[in-house]
Structure 1
Amino acid sequence: MPPLAAAIGAAAAILVAVTPAAAADFSDGVHQYARGRILVEARAGLSGDELEKILKTHGGGKRRKMGQSNLNIVELPAGASEAALVERLRRHPAFKYVELDRRVKSTLAVNDPYAGSEWHLGKIGATTAWDSTQGAGVTIAILDSGVDGSHPDLLPNLVPGYNTHGNNTDTADVCGHGTAVAGSAAARTNNGAGVAGVAGLAKIMPIRVAYKDAGGGCYAYTSTIAAGITWAADHGARIANVSYGPLAGSATIQSAAQYMKNKGGLVFVSAGNNGVDENIVPSNTLIAVSATDSADARAGWSSYGSFVSLAAPGAGIWTTSQGGAYDGWNGTSFASPVAAGVAALMMAAAPSLDGAAIEQALFASAVPLGAAGRDPLFGHGRVDAAAGVRAVLARVVVADTQAPTAAITSPAASSSVSGTVTVAVNATDNVGVDRVELKANGTVVGADIAGPFSFAWNSAGVPNGMNTLVATAYDKAGNATASSPVSVSVANAVPPPTADTTPPTVKIDNPVSGTVSGAVTISVSATDNRGTASLMQSIYIDNALVSNGRGGSLAYTWQTRRWMTGPHAIKVVAKDAAGNRASSTVQVVVVR
C-alpha cells in the first residue's frame, strides 16, 4: 500500500522500533518471552532521567518510550537476565509494574473454506442496526499480521497504518490472518460483491504487530501490541482489535488499553482457543471476547473464564482472505472483531458518547446466555448490534454533577521523607475518574490517568521542612475534588553555598514530537547544581504561558480539543535563584 503508507509521513517516525528479539526466545515452561528486553511503566511524576538512573543502578538498560504513553521498552545489555531484572525492579517503589515481553500467537482455530454463509450477521441483528448506522466516521485499528491492501472489499475503507514489528509503514499481510480479521469487522457494504463486515462503512487502520516464523505460525509480542495500541490511540482510532493471546492478563496491554480508553476508545481482544478456563483476573481496561456458534452455544475450542467480557459469533465466519478471496474462518480471532464492529456501529450512531459509555451500553444490551450477571463462558452475553444501537440512540445524556472523592493514603501526615517519595491516592467517582493530579505546595508535579493512582514525587525539588501535598481527582464532566492536605517533613542534604554561574537543565518528558489528541499531560523536569527547590519552571504553548511552579517537576493537562488542529510548539523555561536560565521545546501536531 505505498500511497497509504506514504501518507503518514514523518509522524510515523516518532514510534521507536520494536524489533524481534536478538536471540532465541526463552520459556518458563508455560509461555515464550523475548530475549533482550522487558516492559515497564513508571509512576506518574518520575522523569525520564530518573528512570534511566534507576535502570543503570540495577544493571543497565536503555529505555524507549511508546508514543505519547507512559509505557517503556527497556533494551538490556548483552548477557543480562531478563527474569532477574524483572524481579529486582518489581520491588522498586518507582514502578507501577514490570514484566517480561511475552510472545503470543494468533487465535485462529480452523480454516473451513466451505462455510459460505454470513449467518452471524442475522444472529447479532446487524442488518437491523444498519437501518440506523453502518459505522461511518469510526476508525477500527486492526492489530495483526497486516492487511491485504488490494482486496476490493477492504481497499475503500483503509486509512494509513503502521508496522510496530519492523518500525516502518509496510502493513502488507504476512500471514493472511489480519486480512480475515479486518473483513470480519469492516469489509465494505453495499458494493455489490463479496461479503459485508459488521461495520462496513467504518475505516480500517492496519497495524502490523506480528511476524511469520519458520514453522508458519503467526506471532506477536506484548511490546509490539502495546506499541500498536498507543499508536492507534494517538492517530485517531476509536477501536482497536487484537486477535492474539490470550492477552488480558498482561499489565502492559492493560495499561495501553487504558491509555486508549482515556482518549474515548475501546480495545477488544480474543479470549483464546485453548478450550479451557484461562484463570485470568478480570480487567475493566479491555474487552475480552469468547466465541459462540450458530446455536448460541460456546464453541468447544473457545477459552473462557471470569476475564471474559462478551461473547460473539466466531464459528464459520465468512470473511475476506488474501488475494481478493473469501473463506470461512473459525476462532476467537473472529469473535473479537465481530464485537468490535458492533461497538463501531454504536459509536457511529452516538458519536458524542465516549468509550466508557459505549462499553456500558454494549454490555447492557448483550443477550444473556449463561448464569445471571457476568458469566465465565459468555461474559455479559452475546453481542446484539440492533439492541446496542437502540440503547445508545435512546440514551438520555444526564449532566454529571457529582464530584469524585480523593484521599492521600501514603505518606502519612507529619512523616519524614527524602529523595523520591511514593505518593498513593485513593480516588472514586460515580461514573469514573478521568485523572488525578498531585500538587506539592500548590504546583502540579504529576498527573496519573489510571488507577491505582500513585506518583513518584522528587522531594529534592522543594525546600527542607514541612511541605504540603494535595491530590485532586477529576471526572470527564469536569467535576473535581481536592483531598485533605497532607503535610510531610522533607529532609534532604543541602549543598554548601558558592557562587552560582551554572544554568539548570530542563527537559520535556511528555509529549514527544508527533501527533497528540484529547487530554495530554505535559510533564517537564529540571535539574540544577544547587538543587531544584528554588527553580522556577514555566510551560508555554505557542508562546502563551499556561502553567508555572517551583521545583524540579511540573505537570499540566492540556485539553487539545480547545485548540486548533495542526502544529503547536510546547516550550519550558527553567530559571534558578541566581537568574541562570535554560529552555527546551517540542513540536507537536494536534489531531482530532
Structure 2
Amino acid sequence: MRTLSLLTPKFLRAARFCVIFAFLLSTSIEVGFTQHRPDFVPGRVLVKFRPEVSPVQVQSIVAAAGARIAGQIPRIGVLVLQLPPNASEVAYARAFRQRRDVVFAELDHILPLAFTPNDPLYAPSSGRGWHLAKISAPNAWDTTLGSNRVIVAVLDTGVDGAHPDLAPNLVPGWNIYNNNADTSDVHGHGTAVAGTVAAVINNGIGIASVAGGCRIMPIRISDPNGYASYTTIANGLIWAADRGARVANVSYRCSNSSTVATAAQYFQSKNGVVVVAAGNESTFDATADNPYVLTVSATNSSDSLTSWSNTGNNIDLAAPGSGIYTTLRGGTYGSKSGTSFSAPVVAGVAALVISVNPNLTGGQVQDVLKRSADDLGAASWDPQYGWGRVNAARAVSMALSLNQMGDTTPPSVSFSSPTNGATVSGTITVQVNASDNVGVAAVSLYLNGALLSTKTAAPYTFSLDTTRFANGSYTLRAVAADAAGNTASAQISLSIYNTADTTPPTIRITSPMNGARVNGTVSVAVATSDDRGVVRVELYVNGRLTATSTSAPFTTQWNASKAPRGAHTLQCKAYDAAGNVGISQSITVYK
C-alpha cells in the first residue's frame, strides 16, 4: 500500500484525531484488574471501518494515529493495525471505538482452552459442582477467576482461618460481636458460606467456588449459637465498607430491616453490593423491596424453586441453594442447603462482575446481575425467582461490554404527573419523562419501595389503582436505566385518599344444593363479588365456624363423616379488605 503524506490540509481532520489520541494516551488507565484474564497480542488492535469510508480515508486516519495497517482479515473487512512502540493498546482501541466511522475496535485477545479447575472435588458430573455449571461459572472463568483486589465481606459466624481452601484468600476482618480481631468460626455456618463464595480455585485441593480468585474478609456478627442482630449486621456492613470490601454477603433474613437497609445504603455509597438470604420458612414476604440489597431465593438442580425457600415482594434474584458442596470447619468438606448458600453464589458472581469492571457502581452491579439472569417462572420479575436465576457468564460478559462502551452518563428522569404533594384517588395515570445520551433501556416505578411495573419503551406511562392501598402518604419513585447500566431516579410524595368502602360483598352457595344428601368430605362452593375484592370466606355448619378460605374460588370443606345423622345447616360469610361482611343464604343438607 502507498504511504500518504500527513498533516497536509487534506488531512487536517485526521490530524485532529491524532491530537485526541495524544490526549487519551497521556491520560489512559488500564480499565479492570482481572487476574488470569486472557492475554492479547501486544501492539495490535483490530478495527472495522464503516463501508462508506474509502480506503484512502482509512489509510489517512490510521496514519494520523501513528499506526499502520499490518494486514486485513479477508471477506469481513477487519483491519489488523500495528501500533507504535510502547503504545497503550487499550487507549488506541477506545479512541477508535469512539469514532463514528468505525463499526468496532478491540484488542486481539489470545484465548486459552475452556478452563477446568484442578480442584479434585470439583466434578459437576458427580453432583458436587452442579451449581457452578448451572450458573455458567466455567464460561465466566474463561474470562476471570476473580481479582485478588476484590474483597467479599462474609458477615456470619466467623471463618475457619486454617482451612487450606480458605486461608490463602483471607484478609483481616473483625469480630463485631466481641469487638476484637478473633474471627474464628464459633458455629460452622460462616466457613461453609465463605467456601461457597470464594474458596481458592485451581489450587489442586478441595473444591472450586464461584469467585475463587477474590479475597474473603471474615466479619463475625453472631453469638456462639449463630444468632445475629440488626445491630451487629449494620455495624459489620459499615466496618467492611470502610475497609474496602466491594461485596458483602449476609446469609440472614434481614432485608426488611430499616437499620440494615440504612447500613446497606452506606455500603452501596462506597460502590459496594450487599447480598442477603431470603429465608427458608416456605413463606411469602409481603414487605416492600429493599433497593439497597439483593435478596436471593433458592433453586435446585432442575432450576425449580426449592420447597423451603421463601418468596415475596423483596426477591431480586434466585440462585442454586440445594446440596451445595463447600468448606467445613476443621479443613473438611460437605454438602449444605438453604438460602444461606444461594446468597453467596450471587455474591460470588457480583465479585466476578466487579473484577472485570471495577468502575461500576453498586447500583450498576445490581442492574447487571438482574438483567443478565436467566428468566425463570413468570415473564420478567416475579416473587419466586425475582429477575431470574443468576448467570455468571452473561453477567461477566455484560460487565465487560459496559467497560468497552465507556458510557458513564446516567439518564435524566422526572415526573410529569401527578405533581409532588398531590392527593389522588381511584385509578390514576403516572407519566414519567426519561432521556439518555445513548438511549433509555427501562423505566421502573416503585411505590414505597415496592416495584409496581417496568416499561422498556416510551412513552413511560403507568396506570396506578390507588384503591389497592390504604389511605395515607406514599413515596412514588421512578428509576431509569440505560444499556450501560447507568441509573437515575426521581421521586415525589403523594397522598392516597379514597372514600371509605362500606359496600359488603355478595355471596351465594352454589354447591351442594339445598336438600342434598352428603357424607364424607363435603366441598362447599360459592359465588362471590365485591367492588374491591373478596379477601376471605368462612363456612359455618350449624352456626359454628368450620373452615376458612383466603384465595379464589374460596371453596371450603366440611368433614361430614363425624357429624350425626340428620339435617345440618350450611351458611357462608364473605369479607372484603375493609371488613365489610356479606352473608349467603342458608341451605339444609342431610346425612
Which of structures 1 and 2 has the bigger CA Rg?
A: 2
Higher relative contact order, chain-length normalized (CA < 8 Å, sep 6+): 1
User: Normalized against structure 1, the TM-score is what?
Assistant: 0.49
